[in-house]
Amino acid sequence: MSNIEAIRDKYLQQIGSAVDGDALEAIRLAALGKKGEISLLLKTLGQMTPEERQEQGPKINGTRQNVADALAARKEAMETAALDAKLATEKLDLTLPAPATPKGSIHPVSQVMDELAEIFADLGFSVATGPEIEDDWHNFTALNIPETHPARAMHDTFYFPQTDEGGMPKLLRTHTSPVQIRTMMDVAKQTDGAGEPIYLIAPGRTYRSDSDATHTPMFHQVEGLVIDKGIHMGHLKWTLETFIRAFFERDDIELRLRPSYFPFTEPSAEVDVGFSVEKGRRIIGGDPHGGVDGVGGGWMEILGSGMVHPNVIRNCGLDPDVWQGFAFGCGIDRLAMLKYGMDDLRAFFDGDLRWADHYGFDALDVPTLSGGVGA
């Protein structure tokens, strides 16, 4: 074996057993660096006779190329091995369970509001809102509520301190009925007093100075308002029946309308739903006279309603001889309690996550008139 072949084999062997990039670099410098063994050999070509050069040149150049190729190949192999090792240790186990992410839930009151919007949308009603900080006129006066009415008493209603002299006293609205006023006035304004049909519900927060197991200072109501031509109590009764049956998802719910009094409706009716007793539990629906299993049953008041008082229609700038309608107001929290089986109203607003997890909803499973939950 010639000298040059020995040199080549020496480096190829060293390259083969190099353990890392540093070792490779040291080999490269020793062989191919400026003062490397092979580089020096290449320089000797210049002193050779043409014949010698013709013989030695290809051998030395070939050796240089062999060593350079071997260095490159070994380097690549090392990099691939390093990457493989890294991938092996960083491997993801897709079968492991994902870490639990805390998940919010939909509050029963929000759920019920969505259900109401859905049910009434099927009947052609839109959703209206109004301010929670109202003035005395929209909350009381325009609704035909006399100065002497007990709801106006300081101990029943949250008033704001009067700031501007002669301005209207501000208060937290005691019911959603001022949304009736705001909507009718908007319609009167937009139609130059001519009027047009109104079909709306107005869900939202309301406030009264009240607190016990069934009353919280803040609670929720839904208002219903229909204004059209030739509207009568039959329309009111049918609408309420359709709504209550869709909401509780039972066709056998009876309603009872009892004569009542609200300053803003005439005639007025309080509405009861029939309940029956099943396995010792009250459930909405069934026979209110005997109960499903023949024991118990009765009526539960759920809302106030009536035909919109002509004074109210007039106060809003519409002609009560042309436009008639009905209105109702219903406690949303109570609807939620009855449908989903909660018994303490105060727990609704405590913000206890355990309660929210238990009674909250995952997705918007909303009943419609065409069928039960999620239909």
Place of tokens 């008033």: 159
Cβ at position 370, least distance to ligand PHE in Å: 27
Task: Pick between residue 247 and residue 328 the one whose CB is nearest to ligand PHE.
Answer: 328
User: CB–CB of 67/11 below 8 Å?
Assistant: yes
370/257 Cα distance (integer angstroms) = 26
Under the criterion CB under 6 A, does residue 327 sit at the interface with ligand PHE? yes
Cβ at position 222, least distance to ligand PHE in Å: 10
Beta-bridged to residue 283, according to DSSP, are: 276
Cβ at position 305, least distance to ligand PHE in Å: 5
CB atoms within 10 A of CB 92: 6
271/226 Cα distance (integer angstroms) = 17
Cβ at position 263, least distance to ligand PHE in Å: 9
Under the criterion CB under 6 A, does residue 182 sit at the interface with ligand PHE? no
Handedness of CA 25, 30, 33, 38 (dihedral sign): negative
Checking DSSP bridges between strand 218-228 and strand 324-331, what pairing results, if any? antiparallel
Q: How many residues does the chain have?
A: 375
Which residues in 109-128 contact ligand PHE (CB under 6 A)?
none
Cβ at position 328, least distance to ligand PHE in Å: 5
User: CB–CB of 175/190 below 8 Å?
Assistant: no
Instruction: Retrieve residue 273's tokens.
Output: 């739903």
Cβ at position 304, least distance to ligand PHE in Å: 3
**189, 193, 195, 201: CA torsion to nearest 10:** 40
Beta-bridged to residue 161, according to DSSP, are: none
Which range, of 13-21, 91-99, 278-286, 327-335, touches ligand PHE by CB under 6 A?
A: 327-335
Which residues in 230-269 contact ligand PHE (CB under 6 A)?
262, 265
Q: Which of residues 14, 63, 139, 177 is near ligand PHE by CB under 6 A?
A: 177
Place of tokens 């629906």: 285
Listed residue (374, 353, 370) closest to 105, CA to CA: 353
CB atoms within 10 A of CB 56: 18
- φ, ψ of residue 148 in degrees (nearest 5): -90, 0
Task: Pick between residue 262 and residue 275 the one whose CB is nearest to ligand PHE.
Answer: 262
Cβ at position 374, least distance to ligand PHE in Å: 31
Q: Which of residues 243, 248, 275, 328 is near ligand PHE by CB under 6 A?
A: 328
Cβ at position 216, least distance to ligand PHE in Å: 15
Task: Pick between residue 14 and residue 157 the one whose CB is nearest to ligand PHE.
Answer: 157
Cβ at position 368, least distance to ligand PHE in Å: 24
For ligand PHE, what does the binding mask look like between residues 264 and 283, x meaning CB under 6 A?
-x------------------
Under the criterion CB under 6 A, does residue 11 sit at the interface with ligand PHE? no
Q: Which of residues 240, 329, 336, 345 is near ligand PHE by CB under 6 A?
A: 329
Q: Which residues contact 237 (CB under 8 A, 6 or more apart)?
A: 255, 257
For ligand PHE, what does the binding mask look like between residues 285 and 314, x meaning CB under 6 A?
-------------------xxx--------
CB atoms within 10 A of CB 112: 25
335/221 Cα distance (integer angstroms) = 10
Binding-site size for ligand PHE (CB under 6 A) equals 10
154/156 Cα distance (integer angstroms) = 6
Task: Pick between residue 63 and residue 176 the one whose CB is nearest to ligand PHE.
Answer: 176
Listed residue (213, 208, 238) closest to 224, CA to CA: 238
User: CB–CB of 256/283 below 8 Å?
Assistant: no
Cβ at position 97, least distance to ligand PHE in Å: 50
Under the criterion CB under 6 A, does residue 175 sit at the interface with ligand PHE? yes
Which range, of 72-80, 276-284, 322-330, 356-364, touches ligand PHE by CB under 6 A?
A: 322-330
Chain position whose Cβ is nearest to ligand PHE: 329
Which residues in 192-211 contact ligand PHE (CB under 6 A)?
none
Binding site for ligand PHE (CB under 6 A): 175, 177, 262, 265, 304-306, 327-329
